[in-house]
Amino acid sequence: MDNDSLRDRLRGTLLTPDDEGYDDARAVWNAMVDRRPAAIVRCAGVADVIAAVNAARKRGLSLSVKAGGHHVSGSALCEGGLVADLGEMKGIRVDPHTKTVRVQAGATWGELDHETQAFGLAVPGGQDPNIGVAGLTLGGGVGWLSPKYGLACDNLLSADVVTAEGTLVHASDDENSDLFWALRGGGGNLGVVTSFEFQLHDIGPEVFGGTLVYPHEKLPAVLECYREFMADAPREVRLLFGSMALPAASVYPTEMHGSRVAMLIAFYAGPAEEGEQVLEPIRDCEEPLTDTLRPRTYTGFQQAGGSEGPLRTDLRSQYLATIPETAARTILEYAAAAPSTGATVFLSPWLGAETDPASDATAYPHREPAHHLLIEARWEDPADDDDHTTWVSEFHEAMEPYTTGDVELNFLTSGENERRRRAALGENNERLRELKTQWDPDNLFSVDPVSSLE
Ligand SMILES: Cc1cc2nc3c(=O)[nH]c(=O)nc-3n(C[C@H](O)[C@H](O)[C@H](O)COP(=O)(O)OP(=O)(O)OC[C@H]3O[C@@H](n4cnc5c(N)ncnc54)[C@H](O)[C@@H]3O)c2cc1C
């Protein structure tokens, strides 16, 4: 590739394997991903994105897009192709009067929350402030505000997209509406989104939430509390149930750090006093070891979910329509046999505004009420790979009889079989395939979580 001519066209930087910074630039959240692109364009703006797309197309290279770099499949990176790295495109403009925000595609949720919360506003986003706004939205995107206000993609009003032809187009309900439909949960491999416009909602700055921690052997009883409470909880509530090892955080007694516990994480998307009243019954359900439920800022609550990577990561996403007792026992059995403190399992309800749209209203297909199960392991030493990947896959197989077969696109790993890859987009696969032929006939954007990356 003639790198000098591309370099001359950029305001940002071109990094090739010989350049300092190349290895940092090709790092993603999942440290198991080790791909070596021919070059990485650190885009300073839309013009650089257009230059990168044109350069890749003319040279017959594949092009991948890196925003927050958190997708566990590592689909932000292509092997031997060109990467458009959007991480420096972080412009954010809030309009408090129309309650909308336009955000460039390299911003993280923490950065977006910081700007919108200055006006007491927020977009439903992920539960970890370090995740990219772009990848999460393009794959659907669920977080604390979702039962009340829907997925991140449901709050998208419009997007600017650089197409495979290197042209900038606007996509909304009124303009390029097919493309807009696809961007809302279809994964994004039709073009490079350079900015997103979102609907904002009144939230905080003070909200009510926190964690309730229980002895691990209480896990089935705590699961029952979760199930009962969520059966008629209002849309303001998001309650997560899970098993994890307690982090060394000051909110937990030092002697409990590292010990495996059952946990409920509760959040109320409304006034803090109201949240305290609504969540009160969950406090009485079982005797917790610790209770950190209290009024706190929305940004503080979001920041608490922040994790530092890269880490080696394996996970499986599944949906359960109901949670029979045998499923609860299986969760306890595998959680108790977790290979390390980095192994977790969490259930979250899928309901309220998340399930309001029809399954073909946006490309995001999973609109039936359910519980989302996420089995996940994070670790550092490659020597521990087998222990963790075996635990994840065996746990996943043991839960399969209870699941609907659906998968979250945002949590699809690279080694998944054809059935699971199809399940990520469900009944919308066909329409997305047609749109791919229309918007990217030569498959320039060939790397995405659904394609086989092997
Ligand atoms: C620690 C952690 C916590 C998480 N928490 C949540 C959560 O609370 N809720 C949730 O829903 N998900 C969560 N996820 C999953 C997350 O939504 C996905 O990993 C998502 O893809 C991350 O977006 P990103 O921009 O960081 O990733 P990237 O890896 O940069 O991008 C993901 C995919 O989108 C494509 N893409 C990115 N930007 C663009 C663009 N501008 N135009 C076109 N294509 C693009 C990439 O090419 C890639 O295929 C979490 C993941 C991790 C690792």
Query: For residue 1, with 0-12 CB atoms within 10 Å meaning exposed, 13-18 middle and 19 or more buried, which class applies?
Result: middle
Nearest ligand 1 atom to the CA of 68 is: 26
Ligand 1 pocket, 449 CB below 6 A? yes
Tokens, residue 356: 């309001």
Helix, coil or strand: residue 93: strand
Q: Is the CB of 86 under 6 A from ligand 1?
A: yes
Q: What is the pLDDT along the chain (454 residues), one digit of tens a residue?
A: 567 789 999 999 999 999 999 999 999 999 999 999 999 999 999 999 999 999 999 999 999 999 999 999 999 999 999 999 999 999 999 999 999 999 999 999 999 999 999 999 999 999 999 999 999 999 999 999 999 999 999 999 999 999 999 999 999 999 999 999 999 999 978 999 999 999 999 999 999 999 999 999 999 999 999 999 999 999 999 999 999 999 887 778 888 888 999 999 999 999 999 999 999 999 999 999 999 999 999 999 999 888 888 999 999 999 999 999 999 999 999 999 999 999 999 999 999 999 999 999 999 999 999 999 999 999 999 999 999 999 999 999 999 999 999 999 999 998 899 999 999 999 999 999 999 999 999 999 988 777 644 3
Q: 380 and 396 in contact (C-beta within 8 Å)?
A: no
Query: Is the dihedral angle over the CA atoms 164, 169, 175, 180 positive or is it negative?
Result: positive
Q: State the distance from the centre of ligand 1 to the C-alpha of 183, rounded, in angstroms.
A: 13
Please tell me the predicted confidence (pLDDT) of residue 297.
97
Facing residues of 206 across strands?
A: 297
Q: 67: Cβ below 6 Å to ligand 1?
A: yes
Question: What is the SS3 assignment for 14?
Answer: strand
Q: Which atom of ligand 1 is nearest to the CA of 187?
A: 34
Whether residue 183 has its Cβ less than 6 Å from ligand 1? no
DSSP code for 247? P
Ligand 1 contact via 444 beta carbon (within 6 Å):
no
For residue 73, the CA-to-ligand 1 centroid distance in Å is: 10
Q: Could you identify the atom of ligand 1 that is nearest to the CA of residue 408?
A: 11
Residue closest by Cα to atom 4 of ligand 1: 128
Q: Nearest residue CA, atom 51 of ligand 1? A: 70
Is ligand 1 within 6 A of the CB of residue 195?
no
Q: What token pair was written down for 238?
A: 């998001």
Q: Is 212 in the pocket of ligand 1 (CB under 6 A)?
A: no
Q: Would you tell me how many other CB atoms lie within 10 Å of the CB of residue 206?
A: 16
For ligand 1, whether the C-beta of 144 sits within 6 Å is no
Secondary structure class of 138 (helix, strand, coil) = helix
Does 75 sit in the ligand 1 pocket, CB within 6 Å? yes
- Sorted by where each starts, the structural domains of the chain and their CATH numbers stand as 3-85 (3.30.43.10), 92-203 (3.30.465.10), 206-418 (3.40.462.20)
In short, whether 314's Cβ falls inside 6 Å of ligand 1 is no
